[in-house]
Amino acid sequence: MRLRPHSAAFPLALLAACTMAGGGAAPATSTSEAMPPVNGPAIAATSMEQAGEYLTIVGGCNDCHTQGWSESDGKVAPADRLAGMNVGFRGPWGTSYGKNLRTIVQRQTEDRWVQVLTTADGGDGKPPMPWWNTRQMSDRDLRAMYRYIKSLGPKLNGVPRSLPPGKEPSGPYIWVAPQPPK
């Protein structure tokens, strides 16, 4: 019997052929540490750190946590990434600043990192941190981000403290609130 691509049995036959051709085993990958199981979609990479670097770039982490990222079209050396920003984000909540993630991961456990990024730090997170996006990520991807940032090592960089509503920032800031039409 000849299987046609449109027949219902074709996908099963194709899967069986691929499995037999490959010996039924997945190719081995070289990683410094075993990749943890996935609890949802996750990026495929040769190491957790490589996946984490990719995720911090496409996830926009550098936009708020890396000084000069936007101005340089993302051409900031890894040695200078994710060390916080002195440009504030001001809105009805006050003014918040992109924290130095490199010092945070040095003092925070991987489990705590996952908890913060999936719960808005228990509700204490400040805008514009898009925790509603990071809570959709798999634990494996969040852990990959943590491991990448931790692999960068600590980098001291003074980041201003958040300000309450009504308090004027002394440095530059971006107004992050809808404005009525003129």
Q: Decide if 122 is inside a domain.
A: yes
- pLDDT bucket at 55, cuts 50 / 70 / 90: very high
Q: Beta partners for 90?
A: 95, 175
Domain count, the chain: 1
Rounded Cα gap, residues 11 and 70, in angstroms: 46
CB 43 within 8 Å of CB 141: yes
Q: Decide if 100 is inside a domain.
A: yes
Q: Decide if 33 is inside a domain.
A: no
Q: Per-residue pLDDT averaged across 33-54, rounded?
A: 79
Give the CATH number, domain containing residue 51. Answer: 1.10.760
User: 106: domain range?
Assistant: 42-175
SS3 content of the chain, % helix, strand, coil (to 5): 35, 10, 55
Q: Decide if 158 is inside a domain.
A: yes
Q: Decide if 128 is inside a domain.
A: yes
pLDDT tens per residue across span 90-112: 999 999 999 999 999 999 999 99
Instruction: Compute the radius of gyration of the chain from its Cα atoms.
Output: 22
pLDDT tens per residue across span 133-168: 999 999 999 999 999 999 999 999 889 999 999 999
Q: Decide if 27 is inside a domain.
A: no
Q: Decide if 76 is inside a domain.
A: yes
